[in-house]
Amino acid sequence: MSQTILAWSLLVAQALLVVAMALAAWRVVRGPRAQDRVLGMDTLYLNGMLLLLVFGVRTADTVYFYAALIIGMLGFTATVALAKFLMRGEVIE
């Protein structure tokens, strides 16, 4: 019984994360300002990372956790670089 509940919960979580990724992609494409696009990209990589984590829990494979960790580090670095570019106009001083 608990395995069925877990399987359905993970499936629902994956479906909702895909919907959230679609909405974030819409914000990236449609966003009127650059700040909206950066926020959309931040949300997009975060949802992608969470989707990989849920898939890793579902399959019990640790490779997905490592991939999610790499996506998280690269996404954070890209967000900081874009924020610095929007604030100062240059990334490297």
Rounded Cα distance between 39 and 77, Å, is 14
Question: Which domains occur in the chain, in start order?
Answer: 2-88 (1.10.287)
Provide the residue-wise pLDDT of the chain in tens; the chain has 93 residues: 888 999 999 999 999 999 999 999 999 999 898 888 888 999 999 999 999 999 999 999 999 999 999 999 998 998 888 888 888 877 666
Rounded Cα distance between 26 and 57, Å, is 28
The per-residue pLDDT for 93 is: 66
